[in-house]
Amino acid sequence: MGSFQKYYRQSATYKICLGLLEGLEKSLSTFGDIVINGFGVIKCLFKGEISWKEFIEQCNRFGITSLPITLSIVGMTSVIVASQVALEMVKQGGGNFVGLLLTMLIVREVGVIMSGFAIISMIGSSLASEIATMRVTEQIDAIEVLKVSPIKYLFVPRVMAGLVMMPPVVAVASVVGVLAGAVTSNLASGLSYRAFFDSMWLGVYMKDLGVCMLKAATFGAVIALISCSCGYAASGGAKGVGEATTKAVVWSFVAIVILDMIFAIAFFF
C-alpha cells in the first residue's frame, strides 16, 4: 500500500489533481478577501469615513486619465461593427434599422463592456500594482501601526471613484460610439445621417439608458474593489507585485463578464 501511494504521488494524475485543488483553494481565498473588503468599504461608507481629498484624486484618475483610451476602444469597435453590418443591411432592405441596431448594441453592451475593459487595462492594473508595491515595501504595515484603517485610506476613495466616474465615462464613450457608427455607415453604404438618427430611437428607451448607467457604476466599483484587494494581498517582492497585477486583471475581466450576464438576464431576458 505504501509503495502504491509513493508511485501514485509521482504520477501526472496526482499532480494535476493537486494543482487543481490548490488553484481552487487560492480562488476561494481571493473571492473571500474581495467579499470581506467589500463589506469593509460599505461599513466605512455608512459611517461617513471618507477621505475626500484622496477621492477627488482618484476621480481624476478614473475619469480624465482613462478617457482617451476608452473613447478610442469604443469608437473603433463601433467603426468595425458598422463597416460590416451597414452595407449588408442596406443591400437586404434593412437600411432604416441600421441606426437602431448599432445604438442598441452600443448602449446595452459595447459601450459599457469595452469601457470596462479599458478601465481594467489602464486603471485596474495601476491600482493593483500601486497597492501591491505598498504592501511588499511595508508601507501598509506602517499605516496600520499609525492606527489608520487601510480600508478607509486605500479602498474607500478608489471604490467610490469607480462607482461615481464610470457612468459619465461610459456615457461619453457611448455617444462617441454612436457618432462613429453613423459616420461609418454613411461612408460604407451611403446611408444618410437622417435615416440613421431617425431609426436609432425606435427601440432605445430610458430603461436601456438607466440599465447602462447602473451597469457602469457596478462595473466601476467592482473593478476598483478587485484591483485593490488583489494588490492588498500581495507578497513576495517584485514577483508578488506582478502576480497581484495579473490576478487583478484576470479577476476583473471575469467579474464584469459574469455581472454583464446577470444584468442581461435580469433586465432583458
Residues 153-187 pLDDT 10s? 889 999 999 999 999 999 999 999 999 999 998 88
- Rounded CA gap, 268 and 249, in Å? 28
Q: Between the CA of residue 255 and those of 31, 76, 107, 116, 123, what are the distances in Å?
A: 11, 24, 20, 11, 16
* Inside any domain, residue 98: yes
Domain of 164?
Answer: 69-268
Give the global pTM. Answer: 0.89
* Inside any domain, residue 159: yes
Quote the number of domains for the chain. Answer: 1
- Rounded CA gap, 203 and 129, in Å? 42
The confidence band for 256, taking pLDDT boundaries of 50, 70 and 90, is very high
- Rounded CA gap, 222 and 251, in Å? 10
Q: What is the pLDDT of residue 167?
A: 93
* Inside any domain, residue 235: yes
* Inside any domain, residue 14: no
Q: Between the CA of residue 91 and those of 96, 191, 192, 221, what are the distances in Å?
A: 11, 11, 14, 43
- Rounded CA gap, 59 and 171, in Å? 16
* Inside any domain, residue 37: no
- Rounded CA gap, 73 and 98, in Å? 21
**Is the pLDDT confidence value at 88 over 80?**
yes
Q: Residue 219 has which C-alpha cell?
A: 462595473
Mention every residue, 6+ apart, whose C-beta is less than 8 A from residue 267: 207, 211
Tell me the average pLDDT across 133-154. 86
Q: Residue 77 has which C-alpha cell?
A: 469597435
Residues 104-131 pLDDT 10s? 889 988 899 999 999 998 899 999 999 9
Q: Both ends of the chain: CA-CA distance in Å?
A: 55
The confidence band for 24, taking pLDDT boundaries of 50, 70 and 90, is confident
Q: Residue 222 has which C-alpha cell?
A: 467592482
- Rounded CA gap, 123 and 207, in Å? 29
For residue 79, which of 185, 172, 153 has the smallest C-alpha distance?
Answer: 185
Q: Residue 248 has which C-alpha cell?
A: 487583478
Rg value, the chain, Cα: 23
* Inside any domain, residue 64: no
Q: Residue 150 has which C-alpha cell?
A: 487601510
* Inside any domain, residue 39: no
For residue 191, which of 91, 95, 84 has the smallest C-alpha distance?
Answer: 95
* Inside any domain, residue 23: no
